[in-house]
Amino acid sequence: MTIELPEAMRAVRFHAEDRSLSLETVPVPRPGPGEVVVKVAACGICHSDLSQFDGHIPARFPAITPGHEASGTVAAVGEAVRHWNVGDRVVVAAGRACGNCQSCRLGGSIDDCEALEIMAFSYDGAWAEYVVTPAVSLIPVPDGVPMEQAAVLADAVSTPYGALETANLKMAESVGVWGLGGIGTHLVQLARVAGASPIIGLDPVAGVRERALKLGADFALDPLAEDTHDRIMEITGGRGLRAAFDCVGRTSTVAQANAAIGARGRVLLVGISGEPIELGREGTFLGRRHTVTGHLGYKMKHLAELVELVSRGRLDLTASVSAVLPLEEFAEGIRRLREHDGYPIRVLLRP
């Protein structure tokens, strides 16, 4: 049951009408039946947060608390919550089941929900001292995993991890990753853990390419160079890539990725740009059996598997935590992400 939670807390609030953000004092949420209140340890700043602030992702509410990449400790549990105790270290999944779709009505899990509600877009997120979430949206984090790294798992690592499953990636398959920001860099690391070979990272920024080479890419290419396509063909022995992950979502990158895959290759759309994209000649998809698949999000088991990989040292996320800023400095964190200041993988806020 509820332990003594304070009455008020600090939270960043996004106001849709004038697209403003401000640090405010708001009531601490109370857990309803089946819910848990988590004291937030760290929460990431993600490009999709910026998309909501800029209006590319339409705001659903006049005001909402951003932040969907959170870790923390259980502060209070609601009725009918059996598996969590106050003090448990957790990573908070960024979504909750809608409770109303066909799958939810038939008793389906959060993973099967057809209208998943995303934290910070459909309900208050974790740029705050406390966040309330369904108990089934939590995964335990062992003591050896730093809270900052656990927070990064909640989207920036788990979404690319889910994309590898969507791509049905096999050992020794060649992989290209377009866009080496938070998602793309983790895709390179995870593809390495998954046994992909060779792994080619593509990004116009030299420093970011260097980083990808340190984190597991075999080759790092500038997608704007004239010989990029030829280089990919050369590296793959003329066959082209088995899987191409587009973490940018623009016609230029999708077209380049589609042109670089081999027969029966697949392109995975992982990046969100909101732009219309051109897929090129229709005959390619027939003649060469190309597949283009969209990917979003992850399953609860993916989060649990990632906690396992990090806790055993299989996946090193020390480079992923680019900076940790106090909650008050949210504007500075947003600025660094927007301006690519230092090319952060993840800037985190600590309430």
CB of 139 to Zn ion, least distance (A): 16
Q: Is 218 exposed, middle or buried (0-12, 13-18, 19+ CB in 10 A)?
A: middle
What is the SS3 assignment for 102?
helix
Query: What CA–CA distances, in Å, run from 308 to 133, 301, 305, 313?
Result: 22, 10, 5, 9
Number of residues in contact with Zn ion under rule CB under 5 A: 9
Distance CA 6, CA 75 (A): 10
For residue 201, give the nearest of 262, 279, 257, 269 by alpha carbon.
257
**Of 117 and 203, CB closest to Zn ion:** 117
Near Zn ion in 88-127, by CB under 5 A:
97-98, 101, 104, 113, 115
Residue whose Cβ sits closest to Zn ion = 46
Question: Which is nearer to Zn ion, 198 or 333 (by Cβ)?
Answer: 333
Rounded to the nearest whole angstrom, what is the least distance from the CB of residue 132 to Zn ion in the complex?
A: 19
Choice between 115 and 304, CB closer to Zn ion? 115
Which residue lies nearer to Zn ion by CB, 186 or 211?
A: 186
Look at phi and psi of residue 31 and say left if phi exceeds 0, alpha if psi is from -120 to 50, else beta. Answer: beta
Q: How far apart are CA 110 and CA 300, in angstroms?
A: 8
- 28-36, 46-54, 232-240, 272-280 -> range binding Zn ion (CB under 5 A): 46-54
Over the window 139 to 178, marking each residue x when it contacts Zn ion by CB under 5 A and - when it does not, the resulting string is ----------------x-----------------------
Residue 150: CB minimum distance to Zn ion, A = 14
| DSSP letter assigned to residue 119 | B
The contact set with Zn ion (CB under 5 A) reads 46, 48, 97-98, 101, 104, 113, 115, 155
